[in-house]
A and B are shown apart, each in its own frame.
Chain A
Amino acid sequence: GAVVSQHPSRVICKSGTSVKIECRSLDFQATTMFWYRQFPKQSLMLMATSNEGSKATYEQGVEKDKFLINHASLTLSTLTVTSAHPEDSSFYICSAPGTGRYEQYFGPGTRLTVT
């Protein structure tokens, strides 16, 4: 089946620094990708929809200037957490719809810890 990868799988950074997370579709093209955030013992919350060739669509309450999304190609979307703070520590998961659009393929997630 289709595979979505994320890099890095884990990252620890200091407060005030920026962190980039990559999401790649490995054997299919994705004009749209989704970014989710999951706090411990909670559900996945959609942060934004990444669109290849155009601006990302952010969900209400998600700061565009803090969570920068770039969909550079049909197989790559990046999420940059700028000026990270401890409250940004979370599990970030991306997904991409399959070619039939009925399936969603999820990446393995990136665990961000901000100290």
Chain B
Amino acid sequence: ELKVEQNPLFLSMQEGKNYTIYCNYSTTSDRLYWYRQDPGKSLESLFVLLSNGAVKQEGRLMASLDTKARLSTLHITAAVHDLSATYFCAVDGDKIIFGKGTRLHILP
């Protein structure tokens, strides 16, 4: 059974700092997703990572995938308050399974 673990589950950080969210998964998959969710809203797609070594960047967010280690990271560079949200990773086996989410709170 595919399991997806994210850590940390909660992160409070100062503006301007860098931090990384980790996503480990238990079985082989070559599709990993990162989503953002704002309170009361649905999911916003951030990245789709399809192959080992894939790296994608959008603004202050950068995601990477290591399929051999079954690990993806979401790196935040010079955080700003607008990035406060909950971030989910999800892995596509025969169905998409979500991690528990990381609630990111960026202090001004």
- A103 to B35: give the CA distance in the assembly, Å: 12
With A43-B88, A44-B88 as given contacts, are A93 and B43 in contact (CB-CB < 8 Å)? yes
Interface residue from A43, A103, A106, A108 paired with B48 (Cβ < 8 Å) = A103
- A109 to B38: give the CA distance in the assembly, Å: 12
Is B97 part of the binding interface, using a Cβ–Cβ cutoff of 8 Å? yes
Q: Which of B16-24, B61-69, B76-84, B98-106 contacts A (4 or more CB under 8 A)?
A: B98-106
With both beta carbons as reference points, the residue of chain A lying nearest to B86 in the complex is identified as: A41
Is A34 part of the binding interface, using a Cβ–Cβ cutoff of 8 Å? yes
Q: Is the CB of A107 within 8 A of B42?
A: yes
Is A56 part of the binding interface, using a Cβ–Cβ cutoff of 8 Å? no
Would you give the 0/1 interface string for A36-48, flagging 1 where the beta carbon is closer than 8 Å to chain B?
Answer: 0000011111100
Number of interface residues of A (CB under 8 A): 19
Q: Is the CB of B100 within 8 A of A43?
A: yes
Is B107 part of the binding interface, using a Cβ–Cβ cutoff of 8 Å? no
Is A49 part of the binding interface, using a Cβ–Cβ cutoff of 8 Å? yes
Q: Tell me the dominant secondary structure on chain A's binding face.
A: strand
CB proximity of A61 to chain B, nearest CB, Å? 13
With both beta carbons as reference points, the residue of chain A lying nearest to B96 in the complex is identified as: A104
Q: Is the CB of A109 within 8 A of B95?
A: no
Would you give the 0/1 interface string for B30-74, flagging 1 where the beta carbon is closer than 8 Å to chain A?
Answer: 010101000011110100101000000000000000000000000
CB proximity of A100 to chain B, nearest CB, Å? 10
With A43-B101, A46-B96, A103-B48 as given contacts, are A109 and B41 in contact (CB-CB < 8 Å)? yes
CB proximity of A23 to chain B, nearest CB, Å? 11
Would you give the 0/1 interface string for A98-115, flagging 1 where the beta carbon is closer than 8 Å to chain B?
Answer: 000011111111010000
With A34-B95, A43-B98 as given contacts, are A108 and B41 in contact (CB-CB < 8 Å)? yes
Q: Given contacts A44-B98, A102-B31, could you give 4 more A-B pairs where the C-beta distance is less than 8 Å?
A: A41-B103, A42-B100, A103-B48, A109-B41
